[in-house]
Every structure is written in C-alpha cells, then in structure tokens.
Amino acid sequence: MIQFERFQLDNGLKVIVHKDLSTPMAVMDILYDVGARDEDPAKTGFAHLFEHLMFGGSVNIPDYDEPLQVAGGENNAYTTNDLTNYYCQLPAENLETAFWLESDRMLGLAFSEKSLDVQRKVVSEEFKEHYLNKPYGNAWHIIREMAYTRHPYRWMTIGKELRHIEEAQLKDVKDFFFKHYTPANAIMVVSGNVEMDEVIRLSEKWFGDIESGRPYTRNIVQEPEQKEARRQIVKANVPLDAFYKCWHMAGRMDQRYYTADLITDILGGSTSSRLFQSLVKEKKLFSNIECHHFGSTDTGLLAIEGKLVKGVRPETAEAAVEKVLDDLRNVKVNDKELQKVKNKTESMMAFEDMSLMNRANSLAYYELLGDAAMMNTELERYNSVTTENILSESRRIFDDKNSNTLYYLAQ
Amino acid sequence: MMTNKTASLNRKLAPRIKDAIEFDLRLKPYDKFILDNGIEVYAVHAGPEELMQVEWVFYAGNWYEQHNGIATATNHLIKNGTHQKSAFEISEQIDFYGAYLNRNCYNETANITLHTLTKHLSEVLPIVSEIITDSIYPASELDIYKQNMKQRLEVNLKKCDFVANRLIDEYLFGINHPYGKYSSTKTYDELQREALEDFHRHYYLNGKCVIFVAGVLPKDLQQQLNHHFGSLPLNRSALPETEHPVSSAEEKKYRIINDPNGVQGAVRMARPFINRNHPDFPASQVLNAIFGGFFGSRLMNNIREEKGYTYGIHSYFQNYIHGSSWMISTEAGKDVCEETVKEVYHEMNVLRDVPVPEEELLLVKNYLIGTILGDLDGPFHIIGRWKNIILNGLTEEYFYTSVDTIKRVDAKTLQGLANKYLDPGSFYELVVV
C-alpha cells in the first residue's frame, strides 16, 4: 500500500506527496500531459525533441544540469506517445534546488537558437543510432503506419522522418511550450524524505506565481475499428527473416486492458510461456519470439514478433503462431496457468515499487490516468480477470480482421 | 495593503544547499554466516517490501574454460533440464511463484540469481539446489542453443557497436585471453555436451561458491540455506591456478568498414588500466567523471552538447579481477567520427595541461557523493557494493577510502593522474562504420 497526500495550487498544478523516511533522498517527478499523439502530422518527433530542449536553459537559469549536480542530484526524462516525464533525485536536504530548477523551466525556457541547433543534431543521431543503423530498426515505423490509419499513434515518438526534426524552427518550439507546458497540464510528485508542510510551502513559493496558461483540449481522432486484415512484405539487408503481427487491443483505462496484459504473459515473456515453448523449443521454427504490448492510453497494439530459424518459410511460421492462438481462442486456460501470470504480475509490481523513483513515476502516471490511488488497486484489477475473460478477449483480439502482419525478409 | 509573497523571489539566485561532500556516508554492514560445507553467506536485511534477492557466485567464468564458449554455455543451460525436470518444468515452477531465476557468465565468475517474494523462498530454493547438483545438459537443448546463438550472432555482427566492442577488447588483451576472446559460428559448432557436463561438475557441483542475500529476509534463512546447500560438495578443492598472459596488439589505430551503407560509426578508444586495489584508483574515478563519466562530463559537453555529433559519449573503467581498461565509447555520425576522435584526444590534453577549475571539481565531487548516497538506498544496491568489495579481495576500508578520496582530492593530483594515464599515445583507437 503506497501512502500519499495531495493538493492543488490556484494555477491548476496538481501536487502529490509520498513520504518515505527510510531514505536520505528526495525525488521530484513532473509529468506533462503531452506526448507524440499531440503532434501535428507534418511536425512529428516534436514532443521528444522538445524534451531535449528542456535542458537547454530556462528564463532565469542558464543551465539545468549543473546546479542540480552541484546539489548532488541527477535527473532524466522520457517521452512516449502519451506523455512526457521529467524526474530528478537528490539528497533530501537539497530539495529546494529541484523546486527552483523545475519551476523556472515551467515558467519559461531560454529558447536559444544554439540549443535548438545542437539538439536537432543530437536527436538526429539518436534517430540514426536506434532506427536507421540497426537491422530491423524501422520495423515498427512500418507496422504503426499499417495498423493506424487515423490515430497519431501512426508515428513513433522519435518522429516519422528525420526531416521533421531537421526542419524544426524556434517558433514551433515556443508554440509548443506555451500550448503544453502549463501548470494546469502538469502533475508534480514529491517523494522521499520530505514533509507535507514543507512541500506545500515550497510549491507555493516556487510554482505559485506561474500563470496557469490556456487550457489545452485534446482532440484526437480515434482509430476506427479495423475491418480487414492488412499485410506487408519488406525486403532489407538483414541476415534473418523476421515475423511481426499485431492486433488492436483495449486502451489503458478499460478493464479489458488487464485481460490483454495477462494474455501477453501467457503467450510470451518467459521460457515457460506458450509461444516460446511451442515455437522455439518444440517446433524449432523461431530462434526467438516475444509477445508484448505498448501500454497505450488510447486503443493500443498487442504484438508478436520473432526471428525465423533459417530455412523456415514465413508462411509456415505464421501458421504455427496461429495454431498457438487457436488454442487460446478455443480452450479456456486452466486456473493454474492464469494464477501463474497473476503471481508474476504481483511480483513484478512489488519489485518495481522498491525504488523511490519508480514509485514517484507511477503515482504521477496514475494521476494522469485519473487518480493516483489506482496504484493501490492495480493488483485487484488483475486478480479479477477470469479464465472466461481470457477466452472471450482472445477471440476478440486475435480476430483475423483485426490483424496487421509484416514479413521482414532478408534480401 | 496588498501582499505578494512572491514579489521578493529572486529566481536567479540558487537556494542554499548542503554540499554533498559534507554528507556522512555509511555502508550498512552485512551479516555473515558459514554453511556446513564452508560456503560463506553475506546477508543484508533491509527494505520496505517483502522481497529478496539471492545470488550464488561461482568461480566458473571464461577464465577457467579450456575451449572458448564452454563457460557461457554451461551457465546459460544450467536451468535447462535435470533428471527430474525438463527445462519447461523448471521454468514453469519458478514462474508459478512469481520468481525470477537468471544466470550470467562473466570473465572470472558466473552466477545464478534468484528474485522472489520472501514468502515463496522455501518453494523455490529446492529448484536452485537441483540445478546445481543435477543439471544434465540434454543434447536437444544444446542443439537449440547452438542454432539460436549462431543466428543471434549473425544479427549482432551487422551492428557497428557490437563489432567495435569485440575488436577493442581483442586489441587490449589478445584474442586468446579471456578478456579479449569472442565467439564465432565455429565456437558454437564445436560445443560438446560432455564438455559442458564436465565444466558443470568441476566448477558448479564441486566448485567454489559464495552466496549474497539481500532484502526482507526470513528468520530461518540460515537453516534454509544450510538445508539445501550446506551439504553439497562445494568449496572442497582449491581452484586451479590459471595464468593467461596478456598479449596487446602492436598497432594502435584501426578503421574498419562493417556496413558500407551505415549512417553512424562506433568509436572506441581504450588503454590498459590499473585495478581497484591500486592506490591511484579512487582518485581516478573522479578524473574519469570529469572526463566522460557522467552527463555533465567534458566529453558529453563538448561532443554532444556543443557539437551535436552524438546522442551520447561515455568513458568508464572495465574492471575485472585480474585486469582492467579505461574505455571511451560512442556512436557518432559517420562523417564526424574522425573529428570525434580528435576531440577526445583534445580533452585528454586539456586535462593534462590545465588543472581542473575548483568550481568544476566541487560540482563533480558533489555529484559523485550524491550518486553514492542515492545508490546506498535499498538492500539490492547495498549488497551490490559489498559483493564488489568481497569478490575483489578488498575490505570495508576500500569504501571509506574511496569516499574520502572523492571528498578530498585536489586539482593537482588529478592533473598528475591525467599525465600518467590520459596519454593519447597509450590509447588504442578504433572506428567501425
């Protein structure tokens, strides 16, 4: 059970305080309700590029990192399709330094040409390192474009193409900031060796006078239901044939999300999972195979991907995957197998909650979804999933009309 | 009267801080007990959650193998079948209790690591005991391993960073040295299950083992461990005295083309370095941090934040028990790799020629101490520190000397170290495109 308290400033900033006196450290986590799904299709990759610019100096402080390091702290940030999260950890005695730094960059950025110029290059190198210069690096670009026809999940957080990043202008940066980086659009979690009164005082002091800004109304076109199977074949300079297939699944707030999450654990994620046992160990068709999903807020994707053993035809591999899915569609899993994946989930959540930083991240995330208290009811939601739920959800997800298949073949 | 409590707020002024170097860092002590057969167990009891980690460290790394790949394969397949249970059954039982059973092979040591909810420890310990005593290495499992590892290798060889990591270690230590050798298709083809069984018998079943435990520990931990591991034939015979002469390459500079269409190159620069027990080591950690050891380092500032050549550049020590190296590593745009190499040497020379300014030195000290403070948080981190100390034959003293050195070291000492170790002429350099 994670204990926390919360309050809200007049400008709309939500603050959550999680006290843990067993540590000498404090964590400040600020989550902005903006991700790649909020981008203009002609300017993709922007939420993530912007995350880099948040370290390029703010209106009163030329450098974010240095003063934090002087205070014995460290920090990082990440951007997903749904959100952008900034977090730092430092000795609790120096907590005010985090308030000073974070409030100043919520107040305003330095908007320097030099910083934009350098970060455009840095992000371009990141794009190359992860998506261009690696075998199969562009597979998910292709699949997202196939699976999403309307929804902005069509592109990855790094962006649709390098050009969008290379062409980013300072004006775009400013517009983006004033649109999304407002107190009303943010959630702050302060955790660790901290006292509620002190957090209230410091929040008022440093964040209290920041203009609340114009509220941002999200207006995203939801993906229409997929009516027929989509397929694509790509040939590239890779050593092995690879198989990818994905299906639309329920969004994060739907109870069916929990069922889908457990289905991915039944299928993949461990050497006792069905796909691995059947296709790697028994039939020897794949050299590795995984099943995962993206945890997306809106309707997401559940995916199976693997590399084929040399000489195996992709059609044969696909038929074998479908055979494993047939079992799920036709026969109820037994109680023991369902209990196994529930136990695994319980344990994984407990291990994650060991870290103060993870607890702060999770509180901010659940607050974004609607209520930080959901962090304490997650396990119940998993435990309420029945073998019937698994059966009906498998039928619903693994419907051929709902599928997107990519053969990524060696030239 | 209108009051505006924020009117006087000067946002340009940093709040007062306590310098991290004034913090008193304490490494929580361990409890130690010895099982009936002499296995040393180090335990740290702490943590908010009812969880634990148990690590069995065996002296069963690459250092002890006769043929390349044996130690890794023996370690990897140790949980793939016993006389009683198939690989699937082992995995299923572990998974059922929500536990994680991992294994890793390093240069000197190889381990088995168990993460479990404390309440399930007694259910999963017998499985670990079974794989140590009765792993049978079925031929079918080895065949799948060979095939899949060869396929994985083929994919990895397309990546410039993977290729660069192999080659730089070969230049430093030689292709026949445990730190310098690497696998090929032939390595996998030549693996024999008898050799794996033999290695398992010598280095696991009859090997040398140390156990590290951390988390919220059950009261009867010692009895449980003694029951399952205290009567195994471990720690009876001394480890073989194995010498591996280092044979560094003569040539220092290499340019390799791995993928003519690649858009980035992997840059690696490295030199042989001193071990943890050398008196220069603690202060070198500070020098490394300034050079390329954290996000605010000189390499990161120059090559990422000033020039935008890379997403990231790092320097670090590769520390092994018998040897060590100082490494600089980055992936940079194909057309700026040579410029990157030049800038790395430039930063070395600046550190040799100009004392580190006081302000920068204080920042790095504060940052390092703050990081250690954060890193002492939680039982798994604490046992990790102890493991490092114990396996390297060091004592608690080492921790406190390191902390003290970080707090006290001056610019002159660092400049001396830079002149001693950051000599561009002693570095190997490699660019793989």
**For B215-269, what is each residue's pLDDT tens digit?**
999 999 999 999 999 999 998 888 888 889 999 999 999 999 999 988 899 999 9
Residue with tokens 């361990």: B30
pTM for this model (two decimals):
0.94
- Structure confidence at residue B2 (pLDDT): 42
- Averages of pLDDT over each 10 residues, chain A, 411 residues: 96 97 94 96 94 93 94 95 97 97 96 90 90 92 97 96 92 92 96 97 97 91 96 96 98 97 96 97 97 97 98 98 98 97 95 94 97 96 98 98 98 91
Cβ <8 Å between B18 and A93: yes
How far is B107 from B98, CA to CA, in rounded Å? 30
Spatial distance between the Cα atoms of A3 and A15, rounded to a whole number of angstroms: 14
Domain ranges of chain A: 5-207, 230-410
Q: At what angle do helices B379-391 and B396-408 cross, to 10 degrees?
A: 100
Q: CA of A116: how far to CAs of A55, A56, A383, B308, in Å? A: 11, 8, 47, 10
Tell me if A246 sits within 8 A of A240, measured CB to CB: no
pLDDT band for position B7 (cuts 50, 70, 90): low
Instruction: Give yes or no for B363 touching A (CB within 8 A).
Output: yes
CA distance B203 to B58: 7
Asked if A278 and A326 count as a contact pair (C-beta separation under 8 A), the reply is no
How far apart are the C-alpha atoms of A41 and A153, rounded to whole Å? 10
List phi, psi (to 5°) of B352. -75, -35
Q: What is the pLDDT of residues B24-38, one digit of tens each?
A: 899 999 999 999 999
Instruction: Average the pLDDT over each of A175-179, B104-108, B123-127, B237-241 and give the range with the smallest value.
Output: B237-241
Domains in chain B: boundaries: 31-229, 253-432
Does A230-410 match A5-207 at the fold level? yes
Kindly give, in sequence order, each residue whose CB lies less than 8 Å from that of residue B291, ignoring residues fewer than 6 positions away.
Answer: B297, B298, B299, B315, B347, B348, B351, B422
Spatial separation of the C-alpha atoms in residues B84 and A264, rounded to whole Å: 29
User: Is B3 a residue whose pLDDT tops 50?
Assistant: no
Asked whether the beta carbons of B382 and B214 are under 8 A apart, the reply is yes
Q: Under a CB-based contact definition with an 8 Å cutoff, are residues B42 and B209 in contact?
A: no
Domain A5-207 homologous superfamily, CATH:
Metalloenzyme, LuxS/M16 peptidase-like (3.30.830.10)
* Helix and strand numbers, DSSP H then E, in chain B: 15, 11
CB burial of residue A49 (10 Å; 0-12, 13-18, 19+): buried
> What does R_g of chain A's alpha carbons equal in angstroms?
23
End-to-end CA distance of chain A: 53
In DSSP terms, B270 is beta-bridged to B327, B428
Q: DSSP of B184-220, one letter per residue?
A: -HHHHHT--HHHHHHHHIIIIITS-EEEEEEES--TT
pLDDT of residue B47: 83
State the Cα–Cα distance between residues B267 and B165, nearest whole angstrom. Answer: 9
Instruction: State the architecture of B253-432 in CATH terms.
Output: 2-Layer Sandwich (3.30)
Residue of A nearest to B8 (CA): A205
A210 with A106: CB under 8 angstroms?
yes
The answer to whether the Cβ–Cβ distance between A72 and B380 falls below 8 Å is no
Please tell me if residue B88 touches chain A, with a CB cutoff of 8 Å.
yes
Tens digits of residue pLDDT in B328-375: 999 999 999 999 999 999 999 999 999 999 999 999 999 999 999 988
pLDDT of residue B1: 40
What is the per-residue burial (b if ≥16 Cβ within 10 Å, else e) of A170-190? eebbeebbeebbbbbbbbbbb
Contacts of A356 in chain B (CB under 8 A): 377
Judging by beta carbons within 10 Å of its beta carbon (0-12, 13-18, 19+), is residue A51 exposed, middle or buried?
buried
Whether A237 and A411 have beta carbons less than 8 Å apart is answered as yes
The reply to whether domains B31-229 and B253-432 share a CATH topology is yes
Which residues in chain B touch residue A309, judged by CB atoms under 8 angstroms apart? 147, 151
**The complex's ipTM?**
0.92
Residue among B76, B114, B377 with most chain A CBs within 10 A, to mutate: B377
Whole-number Å distance between alpha carbons of B168 and B181: 11
Cβ of A353 and B49 within 8 Å? yes
Looking at the partner chain, which of B88, B115, B152 has a beta carbon nearest the beta carbon of A351? B115
Residue B238 pLDDT: 85
C-alpha–C-alpha distance, residues A268 and B55, integer Å? 25
Nearest Cα neighbor of B171 from B262, B269, B240, B86 is: B269
pLDDT of amino acid B4: 46
Which chain A residues have a beta carbon less than 8 Å from that of B147?
Answer: 284, 287, 309
Q: Is A303 exposed, middle or buried (0-12, 13-18, 19+ CB in 10 A)?
A: buried
What the block records as the tokens of A301 is: 């994707």
The pLDDT tens digits of the residues spanning B282-326 come to 999 999 999 999 999 999 999 999 999 999 999 999 999 888 999
Higher pLDDT among residues B23 and B113, named by residue: B113
Segment 255-314 of chain B within 8 Å of chain A by CB: 259, 261-264, 294-296, 304-311
Instruction: Report the residue from A107, A118, A310 with minimal CB separation from B308.
Output: A118
Just give the CATH number of A230-410.
3.30.830.10
- Cβ within 8 Å of A, B 373-432: 373-374, 377-378, 380
* Alpha-carbon gap, residue A292 to A298, rounded angstroms: 16
Under CATH, domain B31-229 is a member of which superfamily?
Answer: Metalloenzyme, LuxS/M16 peptidase-like (3.30.830.10)
State whether B98 and A346 contact (CB < 8 Å). yes
